[in-house]
Amino acid sequence: MMKLSEAIRLGAMMAPQVKGVAISDEGTCAMGGAIQAAGLTLLPNNPSAPPTRELSSGQSSVSVRFPAEWGMSVQHICPECHGKRVLARLIPHINDDHGWTREQIADWVATIEPQQAPQESEMGAELPEQQTAVIT
């Protein structure tokens, strides 16, 4: 599995950046692009429907099974406004609310990546190996 920062950079090359939605006809947000680049499985809202790797255009909220090594449930401080959020919400927040480019977001993610492993193992008792998070 590629690193999160690499997935964000790759996603930036695949489609233009949009805000407020994971993916639209115009492009992808930092998170949506990373999900597409890494080929993550999306969990449909209807539990009886089969999982899909295709993001529906205009979908503002998707459930995704993130790789544990991405540390998406670990809390981080926003580098811009210093608010605390789990990474799965912090990345869309920086994308939408602070207007960073995905290259800037990837650079920032790369600075926090080395610290993720110990933090994640501390939380390991509560977390399944692969976390499911809803991103908006």
In angstroms, give the least distance from the CB of 77 to Zn ion. Answer: 9
Closer by beta carbon to Zn ion, 14 or else 77: 77
Give the residue with the Cβ less far from Zn ion, 36 or 108.
Answer: 108
As a whole number of angstroms, the distance between CA 33 and CA 62 comes to 13
Specify the residue for token string 């994308």: 95
Nearest distance from residue 99's CB to Zn ion, in Å? 11
Closest approach, Cβ 8 to Zn ion, in A, equals 17
CB atoms within 10 A of CB 44: 13
Choose between 14 and 81: whose C-beta lies nearer to Zn ion: 81
For residue 14, with 0-12 CB atoms within 10 Å meaning exposed, 13-18 middle and 19 or more buried, which class applies? exposed
Nearest distance from C-beta of residue 97 to Zn ion, angstroms: 6
Give the binding site for Zn ion (CB under 5 A).
Answer: 78, 80-81
Nearer to Zn ion, 69 or 96 (CB): 96
- Interatomic CA distance for residues 129 and 126, integer angstroms: 10
Are the beta carbons of 16 and 29 closer than 8 angstroms?
Answer: no
